[in-house]
Structure 1
């Protein structure tokens, strides 16, 4: 009985952690967010525009000056690269040549001002 209760408590704890993690995967704008090179990048797509908002661990905006990036958008046999550049205080954006397909796989690569780079898949 004791083992059963311990297993039940552990299962509930893991379920709560998973739910909390899922909630934390969304940024302030409600879009998916992942860690890349020490920052949180929130990815937003609209028509032909790729927008990335940058935040620190506490959720405060990180100035985009000095950051560069690109997004590789793939759908079926088609692929396109969208170059990202700082646009506003904590935002980088770029425009694709063609409309972004719904449900396309996207790999985001960001290079910070110190020259470190990283990537995440959305």
Structure 2
């Protein structure tokens, strides 16, 4: 019994230690879902086959994306596609999937900021 409790505690602690602050269904200034990752707020906006990650500050105002890099993994059913992101304007990263992104697809963002801090978050 003691081993089970220790294992359960270890699993819970590991999950809490790696969790990032999320905003759940909070809408960003461009209508996308906002999550905290790599020290910034990231807003996911998808249209057709385009994925846009808007970089925002703590108050959800546009923040400089200079020096940021990243990619998204789009999963829908058994289909998976990794899409590299490139700078687009001063405050965003964009990428193009091979085809339209289906509604309900899970998108996992891997982001690295200008200082080298990186993180991962699932939308």
Q: Please identify which structure carries the higher strand content.
A: 2
Match in the other structure for 2:52: 51
Residue in structure 1 matched with residue 62 of structure 2 by the alignment: 61
Residues 22 and 34 of structure 1: CA distance in aligned 2, closer, same or farther (over 3 Å): closer
Is there any run of 5+ residues in structure 2 with no aligned partner, and where? 1-21
Query: How far apart in 1 are the matches of 2:84 and 2:97?
Result: 8
Distance 1:102 1:73 in 2: 11
Moved over 4 A (4+): 21-24
Matches within 5 A, 1:26-45: 26-45=27-46
Residues 3-41 of structure 1, C-alpha deviations (whole Å, 9 max, x = no match):
xxxxxxxxxxxxxxxxxx979721011210000011000
Partner of 2:121: 120
Change (3 A) 1:68 1:77: same
Kindly indicate whether residue 78 of structure 2 is the aligned counterpart of residue 82 of structure 1.
Answer: no
Equivalent-residue separation in structure 2 for 1:86 and 1:108 (angstroms): 15
Unaligned 5+ runs, structure 1: 1-20
User: TM-score of the superposition, structure 1-length normalised?
Assistant: 0.78
Structure with more of its chain in helix, by fraction: 1
RMSD: 1.8
Compare CA radii of gyration and give the structure with the larger one.
Answer: 1
TM-score (norm 2): 0.77
What is the total number of aligned residue pairs between the two structures?
102
Q: Which residue of 1 aligns with 2:104?
A: 103
2:6 maps to none
